[in-house]
Amino acid sequence: ASVPVASSAQGRSRYIVVRGAREHNLKDVSVHIPREALVVFSGVSGSGKSSLAFGTLYAEAQRRYFESVSPYARRLIDQVGVPDVDAIEGLPPAVALKQQRGSPGARSSVGSLTTISSLLRMLYSRAGTYPQRQPMLFAEDFSPNTPQGACPACHGLGRVYEVTEASMVPDDSLTIRERAIASWPPAWQGQNLRDILVSLGYNVDTPWRDLPKKDRNWILFTEDQPTVPVYAGFTPAETRAALRRKMEPSYQGTFMGARRYVLHTFATTQSAAMKRRVSRFMAGAVCSACKGKRLKQEALSVRFEGRDIGEVSGLPLSELAAILQPASEGRLADQSSKGTLSRQATRKAAQRRIAAGGASHSAAPDVRRTPNLSDGKRIAAQRISRDILERIASLVDLGLGYLSLDRSTPTLSPGELQRLRLATQIQSNLFGVVYVLDEPSAGLHPADGEALLRALERLRESGNSLFVVEHDLDLMRRADWIVDVGPDAGDWGGRVLYSGPPEGLRGVTGSHTARYLFHSAPARARGLREPIGWLRVAQVTRNNLHRLDADFPLGVFSCVTGVSGSGKSSLVSQELVELLSAHLGHELPPVDQDTTDEDHAFQVRSTGHIVEGGDLIHRVVQVDQKPIGRTPRSNLATYTGLFDAVRLLFASTPAARARHYDAGRFSFNVAKGRCATCEGEGFVSVEMLFMPSVYAPCPTCHGRRYNEATLKVRWNGLDIAQVLSLTVKEAVNVFPNEPAVLRPLELLQAIGLGYLRLGQPATELSGGEAQRIKLATELQRTPKGHTLYVLDEPTNGLHAADVDKLLEQLQGLVNAGNSVLVVEHDLRVIAQSDWVIDMGPGAGDAGGQIIATGRPAAIAKAPDSVTGRYLQPHIG
């Protein structure tokens, strides 16, 4: 299908007109949307908002752009398909700002993404103060990512690896048998090493700290690899006796020192998981040559306002702004050059300072006229500083002033990254563009929402259109226009229920959005629960937390709140989960796939510990929004495990038995049953230069994933591919008598995911959907109680109606004897909780403290709590 391009007369109209959009679940949608306006696309999740805003409008704008620039791109687009829409008129070029994490390979940072770092390098190169007789450097000499700039000792990493006793033996009260050496390999291999130590005569039943220093050092750091007889299953006494009698050993075992094992595994393993596991024991030590600043000495000796470039790259942006302010006003202070100066030069500089803007800053710096401070330099400094300050201002406006330039993008939340991109766009001064954004309010405290709105308004004022897929009710109220999609999800959605100014939505029956937008919050659904105990942690030092003590109530539903960057995730999702996992002896939660091994090895180990209540928790479960898989190979059915049961059903049919097909035959991950062309993916991936690869349907099986022979087998009239294309809701009716399939299906439906297809690839699922699938998978386990569920902003991507469903499930978990702890901004959720821990007062170094803690009603009245101010109207 090809889309007729709008005629130029229509192009100048005030509206973008869409006719007959049928992408995904859209039901032949026609709608007109104003330009140069803030337009919110609302609706429950799965209703089709993104299919309209991204899948149709943005995709079409992008297609037209590519078509206009390159025949090569055009060919790819032909393969991938064009959006299914009859016509779009008046569509300007579009820029999408989607929420995604920084891509793993690219080592980008806040500074590189915003291009502030390159300006800063220019500033140091042109306007920095050089030591006497040092020649001027080029801008690249100030970049740790270039061979010219990198510190030769650490190759520009700023850190060197160190494997120490403290990193390998976190708890020295344990014996070797009790796994004191945490860095040893798990399971059999670890046991093998222990048995070897027994044969070598080491005591494995004495607490580590009571072993002689000499023994400890040998076990950890030896490079020797002795081979000795091992008597598996023998006690130390039995082993000694066996050695004396020269009994036939179980086998000969070779020892490897604990540090050697860590370094060797890190360097050689093919398994990313193993690499990650051992990287945990490699403490990153600051490089002594560059003190962690990653640059060669010559670069670090150049100063601006008395500081080197490494130092200022580590400062919060708001502080960096304060440093650049004088220079941007033409008042360049320079303290580093200690050469002798003529009195005349000093006087001239002082005059210039006065002329340039009155009072110099308080501790009047030693401003001297040197060759370093020529007029040329001063002017360069002024111009570049102004440029940087402008960029910083839009970042600070969006509540990101707490970030530093050297912060790596993989450690940013998707919301922070999106706002970073938004700020960069504001700087780009484009006009006449449609910006398509995906829930920009995600991760924002209501207090930060104001700044976001201002940023969006600025883009609109410069003549752009803003299409925002959004759930935040306040943002909807402040929009110029709402396109409400629904009424429900998947096949039960895909219609435009309303398109117009927000107020007009009030009368639209059947709109879930209208129900929440215009009706005040319901009263509390339930009484307040009393905690059955407390989990107390102390001395937490991590990111912006410094020796923080915190108490978490158990057996209740509690929320951790606070402006973004205040330290909620650092406390809950990072520290608490790690402390509990360690306490419970769980294998540590998988590290974020996007964090590189180096990042992980370099994390500062916290001094935090559990003081009380650790034993009241038997399990800790973190339910996050990370994708459940990154290829179309994992899907809803495989992830929840219900597909195993379905495959067994197929294998037990007479047709399958006659052909000797086992359950494996019905897996698209096993060669015998799947389509050979796409190897069971249903799609073939098309690699595109400069862009993420895209998937096109398989030409052989047309997305069915299986070969013809496998598809001959039917269960109750359906072949296996047809089962995968059922929605959850439909499948409930297909498998009413199969509890192993039915139970997960019912849970998925209860949590609002009835519209998803069983075979829906993980790559098509949103973060919110992924999170709810994880939750449903968790719910189908036999309830044991005493579990702590930790969720970080579970309402991201959820419509208020979906939030209610989620809340119901979370409350159910608490009723079953568990504890639920969520990091949350949604005031309706906070109001329904039993306990609130409010962090702040600000972000970054201005936060990191607990401001108020108590019942929601008490927080609403707490004088110092920003959250409280916003919470008040929601307390029934």
Residues in contact with Zn ion, shown as a per-residue x/- string from 247 to 286 under the rule CB under 5 A: ----------------------------------------
45 binds, among ligand ADP, Zn ion, none (CB under 5 to 8 A by kind): ligand ADP
677 binds Zn ion (CB under 5 A): yes
Q: Is 310 in the site for ligand ADP (CB under 6 A)?
A: no
701 touches, from ligand ADP, Zn ion, none (C-beta below 5 to 8 Å by class) = Zn ion
Q: Which of 21, 127, 182, 287 binds Zn ion (CB under 5 A)?
A: 287
Bridge-partner residues for 853, per DSSP? Answer: 837
User: What string of DSSP letters covers 186-205?
Assistant: SHHHHHHHHHHHHHTT--SS
The DSSP secondary structure of 750-791, one letter per residue, reads HTT-TTSBTT-BGGG--HHHHHHHHHHHHHTSPP-S-EEEEE
565 contributes a contact to ligand ADP by CB under 6 A: yes
**Contacts with 468 (C-beta within 8 Å, 6 or more apart), sequence order:** 38, 39, 40, 41, 436, 437, 439, 440, 456, 475, 479
Measured from the CB atom, is 293 or 369 closer to Zn ion? 293
Say whether residue 564 binds ligand ADP (CB under 6 A): yes
**Residue 192 found at the interface with ligand ADP (CB under 6 A):** no
Binder of residue 445, out of Zn ion, ligand ADP, none (CB less than 5 to 8 A by kind): none
In the numeric block, the tokens 């103060």 are attached to 129
Show the 3-state SS of 79-90. Answer: HHCCCCEEEEEC
Nearer to Zn ion, 87 or 285 (CB): 285
Question: Which CB atom, from 384 or from 560, has the smaller least distance to ligand ADP?
Answer: 560
678 binds Zn ion (CB under 5 A): yes
From ligand ADP, Zn ion, none, interface partner of 402 (C-beta below 5 to 8 A by class): ligand ADP
Contacting ligand ADP (CB under 6 A), which of 21, 29, 47, 312?
47
Picked from Zn ion, ligand ADP, none, the partner binding residue 113 (CB below 5 to 8 A depending on kind) is none
**Interacting residue with ligand ADP among 29, 50, 299, 773 (CB under 6 A):** 50
Identify the CA nearest to 564 among candidates 450, 473, 442.
Answer: 442
HSE toward the beta carbon, residue 750, CA cutoff 13 A: 16
Nearest approach in angstroms of CB 633 to Zn ion is: 13
Residue showing tokens 């509690």: 558
Q: Are strands 159-162 and 283-286 parallel, antiparallel or unpaired?
A: antiparallel
Do residues 775 and 820 touch, judged by C-beta distance below 8 A? Answer: no
Which CB sits closer to Zn ion, 124 or 402? 124
Q: Is 617 in the site for ligand ADP (CB under 6 A)?
A: no
Q: Which is nearer to ligand ADP, 51 or 418 (CB)?
A: 51
d(CA 850, CA 696): 50
CB of 761 to Zn ion, least distance (A): 13
Do residues 62 and 92 lie in contact, with contact meaning Cβ atoms separated by under 8 Å?
no
The residue among 44 and 193 lying less far from ligand ADP, judged by its C-beta, is: 44
Alpha carbons 456 and 463: distance in angstroms, whole number:
11
Span near ligand ADP by CB under 6 A; candidates 165-173, 566-574, 709-717, 803-811:
566-574
Pairwise CA distance, residues 838 & 866, whole Å: 9
Choosing from 313, 569, 710, 832, the residue that interacts with ligand ADP (CB under 6 A) is 569
| Site stretch for ligand ADP (CB under 6 A), options 199-207, 567-575, 850-858, 860-868 | 567-575
- Judged by CB under 6 A, the residue of 6, 36, 45, 378 near ligand ADP is 45
99 interacts with ligand ADP by CB under 6 A:
no
How is the beta sheet containing 465-469 ordered, strand by strand?
Answer: 94-97, 434-438, 465-469, 38-42, 481-486, 495-500
Q: Which does 675 bind (CB under 5 to 8 A by kind): Zn ion, ligand ADP, none?
A: Zn ion
- Count other C-beta atoms under 10 Å from residue 256's C-beta: 20
Separation of alpha carbons 5 and 1, rounded Å: 13
Helix or strand run (H / E) with residue 860: helix 856-861
Quick check: 628 binds ligand ADP (CB under 6 A)? Answer: no
Shorter beta-carbon distance to ligand ADP: residue 384 or 751: 751
Residues 479-498 close enough to bind ligand ADP by CB under 6 A: 489-490
Are 263 and 205 in contact, with CB atoms under 8 Å apart? no
Q: Is 509 helix (H, G, I), strand (E, B) or coil?
A: coil
Query: How does 693-731 read in b/e, with b if 16+ C-beta sit within 10 Å?
Result: eebbbbeebebbbbbeebbebebeeebbbebbebbbbbb
* 739-758 binders of ligand ADP (CB under 6 A): 755-756
Distance CA 488, CA 30 (A): 18
- Determine the Cα–Cα distance for residues 119 and 381; give it in Å rounded to an integer: 10
For position 446 contacting ligand ADP by CB under 6 A, the verdict is: no
Identify which of residues 90 and 680 has a Cβ nearer to Zn ion in the complex.
680
The interface partner of residue 51, options being ligand ADP, Zn ion, none and the CB cut-off 5 to 8 Å by kind, is ligand ADP
Residues that bind Zn ion (CB under 5 A): 151, 153-154, 287, 289-290, 675, 677-678, 698, 700-701
Residues that bind ligand ADP (CB under 6 A): 24-25, 43, 45-51, 402-403, 407, 411, 469, 489-490, 543-544, 562, 564-570, 755-756, 764, 844
